[in-house]
């Protein structure tokens, strides 16, 4: 599932319910094995994916937040 269905759900919630007060994340990327044996690179990747993916999936597109011609990099 990419960001389109999530953005559509967010838009529907905004239209029908006046927005969302919170989002519960119940999907994560996992690593298997004893925690002390997981490399720093894997731990950093897991932390980045699990913390940023929900935010980026549900956030409005950049042009809606910043304007299309503001000069910001996409």
Query: Mind listing the pLDDT tens digit of every residue in the chain (74 residues)?
Result: 566 787 788 889 889 999 888 777 776 778 888 988 999 999 999 888 888 877 776 666 655 555 544 445 54
What does the pLDDT read at residue 16? Answer: 94
**Two structure tokens written together for 4:** 């389109």
pLDDT at 49: 84
pLDDT at 19: 85
Report which of 50, 51, 43 is spatially closest to residue 29, judged by C-alpha positions: 50
Provide DSSP, 50-62.
HHHHHHHHHSPPH
Looking at residue 74, its pLDDT comes to 46
At residue 39, the pLDDT reads 92
Residue whose structure tokens are 């011609």: 69
Gap between the Cα atoms of 38 and 3, Å rounded: 29
């Amino acid at each position: 599932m990419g960001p389109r269905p999530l953005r559509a759900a967010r838009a529907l919630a905004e239209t029908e319910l006046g927005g969302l007060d919170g989002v519960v994340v119940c999907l994560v990327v996992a690593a298997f094995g004893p925690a002390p044996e997981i490399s720093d690179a894997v731990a950093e990747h897991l932390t980045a994916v699990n913390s940023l993916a929900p935010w980026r999936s549900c956030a409005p597109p950049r042009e809606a937040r910043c304007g299309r011609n503001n000069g910001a990099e996409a």
